Amino acid sequence: MTFIELVGQLKKIPCEEIRKESEGYYEFVISGKSFAQLYPVLESYFGVPFKPAGIEPSGKVKDVAKQYGGVEKQQTLYYFQRDGLSNCAMIWPWGDGSQATVKMAQGVIDP
């Protein structure tokens, strides 16, 4: 599956709002009732989370997430590098747990 195909699969899941969509970036808001559909799609592309929710982020995790706004204990980060590209997805649950912001990005790795 390519990044573009992943975004296409995610667009099949009902969302509350698409915040930004451009080449290599997709950000949207999803309701809690759609979380069960979100995780299998992400894991089919990324595998297990690089940083699962509930785990304090390590220094390496913080470095990866820094350019996307950082990642905190309650947030999830999926990440891998392949073919000179970094691929990530970040799930930021809202305080009340009713929704989450999902940020996905693919970009060239700095040499």
pLDDT for res 92: 92
pLDDT digits (tens, 9 = 90+) for 12-29: 999 999 999 999 999 999
Q: Structure pTM?
A: 0.90
Q: How far is CA 3 from CA 16, 86, 88, 90, 103, in A?
A: 21, 11, 10, 14, 13
pLDDT for res 111: 44
pLDDT digits (tens, 9 = 90+) for 66-80: 877 889 999 999 999
pLDDT for res 110: 58
Which residues of the chain carry a pLDDT beneath 70? 109-111
Coil vs helix vs strand at 35: helix
The span from the CA of 76 to the CA of 56, in Å, is 10
In the block, residue with structure tokens 């982020």: 57
- What six digits make up the tokens of 30? 């999803």
Q: What angle do CA 90, 18, 40 make, to 5 degrees?
A: 45
Q: In what order do the strands lie in the sheet with 85-93?
A: 17-22, 25-31, 99-108, 85-93, 76-82
